Amino acid sequence: MILDAGAKFLDRDLLSGGSPWRLLRLPGGSRAVAERWVGGGEVQAGEERFARTLVQQGLLHPFYRSESNVDDVDVIVPVHNDVDALAALLESLIGLHVTVVDDASSGSEMANCAQRFGAEVVRLEENHGPGSARNAGARATSRPLLWFIDVDVSFDNALDVLARLRPYFDDPLEGAVAPRIRGAHGPSLRDHFEERFSPLDVGDRAALVIPNSAVHYVPSACLLIRRSSFGDGFDESLRYGEDVDLVWRLHDQGWLVRYVAEVAVSHRARDSWRGWWSQRIRYGQSSSELAKRHGTRLAPFRADTWTLFTWLSAMVGKPMVGLRIMGAARKQLRERLLTTTDHAGKVADELVGRGMVRAGPLMARAAVRTFGILILLSALHPKLRRRSLTLFVVGTAYRWRSTRVRVSDIPLGLVDDVAYGAGVMSGALRSRSLGALKPHITKSTLGLRNVLGLKPSANNL
């Protein structure tokens, strides 16, 4: 077992971190056990229940040493009119049990290519999208694990990738596992951009995949899944976002979905600027249909009223109000911790700082991603210009916080945001649903009204 890199011990028996973030109190000698797992210690007798708790909280990542077995894995490759990419992929998958789903391609090239590499072929007469094709492949196979691989994915060594993902299924609760998907190296500006900022790349830290956490989904471009967890499979009415929907349904059913950032595959960029733009638009458009199924999980950003008022006060030129809110939050949290924590003030500073200070850039980034066009339009108003531009610059710059930026990245990043935001708004209009445009604001559990000098309410906590 390996304790998550973002986990942090606070005071004598508090552990913060996880996915989504949380604060846990460790009873008895639990801290010593957790500290042993920092360096990858093994779970000993009597520690199984504690380990399971931390695993399901995203604080502990399992490490398995069992051998891989290709005979219990069916590889399913959906394809539509891309024989060159199919040939390159199938060559890298030699030694695996592969089923190619020809999603109503023209001619017989796909079938001939698949047969040349010894793959099984399922031919669909009508094209209903990748979700439908993957489901057809699953129905045509029978092995206990399904490995969905898109035709534009490439491997340095597919067998090695499988050998590193397969052992996670030794955990009976593991429903699906996904590697990191990096943009493929190439000569064009699109290739250079996606090599570092692919829309399918969800980061460089391994994590349990949980809605509303840092890693809230994994793409189906390369997804290993337990057949018994697959159920009815992908929602065939979704052309885009079907992978998000499936992963969240797995989570809701009690399965674990794991992202293994240490294992990486490549995914090529779209072949044209029009295709690149359309891809971003459609990703944005999918959010409205997903919001109908999954509610506030598709909110552009989430915040509690304390945090929202803190940053809004700064935006409107009243930073002292924000400081008062932060001070009140720290004070009330400190009072709650006094009887159970040795250094209540220090812990309160850490938690308030994490919850409020770090939330500002995240909210700015989310606002620009979804509402970038509206923010720029609001900058045309003289009274809103400075604040709108500040919000836009902060939200845009946050994207590059941990990456060295090339000059060409900046305009492409802006276009990427504009296309996605336009997709979200057009999808909302098309579906007549505002679910993907409404921020999710939770109520504060402390007395915000008193901090702001408002009249107390009988319903206010």
Residue 321 has pLDDT above 90, yes or no: no
Q: Give the total number of structural domains in the chain.
A: 3
Structure confidence by residue, pLDDT tens digits, 39-97: 777 888 888 888 888 888 888 888 776 677 889 999 999 999 999 999 999 999 999 99
Asked if residue 352 lies in contact with residue 372, where contact means CB atoms within 8 angstroms, the answer is no
The answer to whether residue 1 scores a pLDDT higher than 80 is no
Q: Which residues pair with 180 in a beta bridge?
A: 264
> What pLDDT is attached to residue 76?
98
Q: Are residues 44 and 134 in the same domain?
A: no
Answer whether residue 459 shows pLDDT above 80.
Answer: no
Q: Residue range 310-335: average pLDDT? A: 86
What's the pLDDT at 317? 84
Q: What are phi and psi of 153, to 5 degrees?
A: -95, 145
What CATH code is carried by the domain that includes residue 217? 3.90.550.10
CA 281 – CA 418 distance, rounded (Å): 9
127 and 52 co-located in one domain: no
pLDDT band of 330, cuts 50, 70, 90: confident
Any domain includes 47: yes
Domain shared by 315 and 206, yes or no:
no
How far is the CA of 301 from the CAs of 211, 285, 304, 399, in angstroms? 13, 17, 10, 15
Checking if the pLDDT of 242 tops 50, the result is yes
Pick the last residue of a domain from 269, 290, 317. Answer: 269
The pLDDT of residue 44 is 85
Amino acid at 108: S
Of 201, 75, 98, 86, nearest to 148 (Cα)?
75
Is 274 inside a domain boundary? Answer: no
* 380 domain-assigned: yes
| Mean pLDDT for the stretch of residues 305-331 | 86
**pLDDT value, residue 66:** 65
Contact 93, 100 (CB under 8 A): no
* Structure-token pair, residue 173: 């609760």
Same domain, residue pair 52 and 76? no
123 and 83 housed in the same domain: yes
* pLDDT given for residue 452 in this prediction: 39
Query: If 0-12 CB within 10 Å is exposed, 13-18 middle and 19+ buried, where does residue 276 land?
Result: buried
Query: What mean pLDDT value characterizes the chain?
Result: 88
Last-in-domain residue among 30, 61, 92: 61
Query: Does the pLDDT of residue 374 top 90, yes or no?
Result: yes
Is the pLDDT at 454 greater than 70, yes or no? no
Residue bearing tokens 């797995």: 250
Pairing outcome for strands 97-103 and 174-183: unpaired
Rounded Cα distance, 351 and 424, in Å: 33
Same domain, 230 and 332: no
pLDDT value at 448 more than 50: no
* 460 is a domain residue: no
The predicted pLDDT at position 460 comes to: 30
DSSP 80-144: SS-HHHHHHHHHHTTTSEEEEEEES-SSSHHHHHHHHTT-EEEEESS---HHHHHHHHHHT---S
- Whether residue 208 lies inside any domain: the answer is yes
Give the residue, 427 or 11, on which the prediction is more confident.
Answer: 427
SS (H, E, C) 26-75: CCCCHHHHHHHHHCCCCCCCCCHHHHHHHHHCCCEECCCCCCCCHHHEEE
pTM: 0.88
Q: Is the pLDDT of residue 292 over 60?
A: yes
Q: Residue 352 is part of which domain span?
A: 303-442
Helix axes 48-56, 30-38, angle to 10 degrees: 60
Same domain membership, residue 425 and residue 335? yes
Lowest mean pLDDT among 33-37, 154-158, 223-227: 33-37
Task: Identify whether 375 is part of a domain.
Answer: yes
pLDDT value for 445: 55
Q: Determine the pLDDT at residue 461.
A: 28
Same domain for 262 and 411, yes or no, is: no
Share of the chain above pLDDT 90, in %: 55
Same domain, yes or no: 142 and 242: yes
pLDDT at 333 over 70: yes
Residue pLDDT, tens place only, 130-153: 999 999 999 999 999 999 999 999
Q: Which tops the pLDDT comparison, 108 or 153?
A: 153
pLDDT at 422 > cutoff 80: yes
Give the pLDDT band of residue 447 (cuts 50, 70, 90).
Answer: very low
Position with higher pLDDT, 81 vs 224: 224
Tokens standing for 161?
């990738």
Mean per-residue pLDDT, 388-395: 94
101 beta partners: 78, 122
